[in-house]
Amino acid sequence: MTERIWGRAFVRGSIRERTLITIEDGLIAGIRDLDHPPEDATVTHDLIVPGFVDIHVHGGDGADFMDASDEAAARVSSFHAHNGTTAMAATTLSGSAADLRAAVAAIARVSRPERQAAEICGIHLEGPYISAKRAGAQNVGAIRAADIHEIAALLDAAPHLRWIATVAPEIDGVRSLIEHFRSRVVFSIGHTSADYSEAVAALDWGATHFTHLFNAMTGMHHREPGVVGAALVSTAATAELIADGVHVHPAVLRIATLAMPGRMALITDAVRAAGMPPGSYKLYEHEFTVTPAGTARLGDGTLAGSTLTMRRAVQNMVELAGLPIEIVLPMATEVPARILGVADRKGRIAAGYDADLLLLTPRFEAARVWVRGRELG
């Protein structure tokens, strides 16, 4: 089946005003500038953009990947797909060995294309090899020393998926873990009390990414640059930002983005309360509350993930951080696709790529979404 869409489109880093995109067999078959649409084309006044890619998402629509059920994983995938995310890394939390195995098994089952809306391309282990002092909303009782055998067993349970692992460099065994698995796992520095030199050392060991920059890590001081400083002066590492206007001040969102051009990825860090009304919810073994403003916090005030969607994150980067949409869109598409290892088929509107497309309205709503050429109802 062939489908054609004509209108303004974000292609090769710029917005082209009159573009015809042809979809065949789930792929983008062709792109060309055309002054007038063919009679059989869908004409849109919204902006055609690549589907968003979220490399750090825990839940949504009342479900969480740590629920370790096919239904929960499918609900998270569907909810975020309807908000413009067409590919993701299903993200776990620090939990018992048995709970992590169960969560990974469920994610692996649902990662088959026919079982999902947004394609689950990877798994992001956010812990358990992190700092108890920088645990944030994670369960301190589940934090432990790095275990090569545990990671090996988890990788074997889902060898077809890309793996990201958030680790704290100062935790026992983390250096050996990174050096052993760096060819198979994207190691991300996060939830850490490391200083600047320890973070730089972790990059030398093979870490290549920073988890939700500024949050749950040592900040930058003019006499001790901290983990944040290590990220900002790195030449190749990538990093994440939670652009909800709460986790990171809009001015800092702008500064960090401009300091790391082409290497900053937007994430949601969304928990099960995303898309749900204010109230009380569960984050693994912790209870948290969502305020009417949409902020999720534990009882002691600690931020507990977010209720973001990627379309809202893009909106905030444009409207709060004041960045041009041409800079922001790659942060939600190309950059995370590269981190997730799918940049050869996702994150861009290009011939031969998966037909993951989104019609983004001027109010940053997801008017229509296609995942591998299939429009979501």
pLDDT value of position 293: 94
CA distances from 236 to 118, 124, 197, 206 (A): 28, 20, 17, 11
In sequence order, the 6+-apart residues with CB closer than 8 A to the CB of 173 are 129, 145, 146, 147, 148
Q: Which residue do the tokens 């100062």 mark?
A: 170
Cα–Cα distance between 13 and 189 in angstroms, integer?
29
Active-site residue, selected from the candidate residues 269, 344, 354, 356: 269
Q: What fold is seen in the domain 51-345?
A: TIM Barrel (3.20.20)
Cis peptide before 128 (omega within 30 of 0): yes
pLDDT value of position 113: 63
Per CATH, domain 2-48+362-375 is 3.40.50.880: no
370-373 contact pairs (CB < 8 A, 24+): 370/23, 370/51, 370/86, 371/51, 371/81, 371/86, 371/117, 371/118, 371/119, 372/26, 372/27, 372/113, 372/119, 373/3, 373/23, 373/24, 373/25, 373/26, 373/27
Residue pLDDT tens, the chain, 377 long: 899 999 999 999 999 999 999 999 999 999 999 999 999 999 999 999 999 999 999 999 999 999 999 999 999 999 999 999 999 999 999 999 999 999 999 999 999 766 568 999 999 999 999 999 999 999 999 999 999 999 999 999 999 999 999 999 999 999 999 999 999 999 999 999 999 999 999 999 999 999 999 999 999 999 999 999 999 999 999 999 999 999 999 999 999 999 999 999 999 999 999 999 999 999 999 999 999 999 999 999 999 999 999 999 999 999 999 999 999 999 999 999 999 999 999 999 999 999 999 999 999 999 999 999 999 98
pLDDT value of position 130: 98
What does DSSP assign to residue 51?
P
H-run or E-run covering 356? none
Q: Where in the chain is the domain with CATH 2.30.40.10?
A: 2-48+362-375
Cα–Cα distance between 107 and 93 in angstroms, integer?
13
Q: Where in the chain is the domain with CATH 3.20.20.140?
A: 51-345
CA atoms within a 13 Å half-sphere pointing along the CA-CB vector of 200? 12
138, 154 Cβ separation under 8 angstroms? no
In sequence order, the 6+-apart residues with CB closer than 8 A to the CB of 313 are 242, 243, 244, 266, 267, 268, 332
pLDDT value of position 40: 93
Judge whether 172 counts as a catalytic residue: no
**Residue-wise DSSP of 71-84:** HHHHHHHHHHHTTT
370, 51 Cβ separation under 8 angstroms? yes
